[in-house]
A = this chain, B = another copy of it.
Amino acid sequence: MKPRFAHSAALPGFETPAAFLRPFAGEALMLVRAEAKAGSALPAHAHPHEQITLVFSGRMRLRLGTEWLELGPGDIAYVPPNLEHEALFLEDTVAFDAFHPLREDFLAKLASS
């Protein structure tokens, strides 16, 4: 795969109930820019991918298993494979989610959007 550069806010993406998602994929490593409005919620879910979430701007609450955390700019969280998690966005928020391996479901949605 070739090197690539992007202004993340200008990447193509797709709407979900919780956020607008803009994936940026390598071979087995992916970064996804998530833009969420204040008050939106990401329902409880789990996936076999490892995830590290970084808040770029805004504020969110994140549940990792049984624990709720509040994250602001520069805060990061590790979501192990298959751990149930959910989120509530307290402010308009931009977060970046790193995944390994690729979220093929996101790439399929991007391709069909």
Q: Pick the contact of A78 from B24, B67, B78, B79 — CB < 8 Å?
A: B24
A99 contacts B by Cβ under 8 Å: yes
Write the nearest CB–CB distance from A55 to chain B, whole angstroms.
9
Which residues on B sit within 8 Å (CB–CB) of A29?
Answer: 29, 50-52, 98-100
A90 contacts B by Cβ under 8 Å: no
A38 contacts B by Cβ under 8 Å: no
A16 contacts B by Cβ under 8 Å: no
Residue contact A2 to B56, C-beta cutoff 8 Å: no
Write the nearest CB–CB distance from A17 to chain B, whole angstroms.
23
Q: Pick the contact of A74 from B5, B8, B65, B99 — CB < 8 Å?
A: B8
List residues 48-82 of chain A with CB under 8 A from any CB of chain B.
50-52, 54, 56, 64-65, 67, 69, 71, 74-81
Q: Pick the contact of A80 from B7, B26, B96 — CB < 8 Å?
A: B26
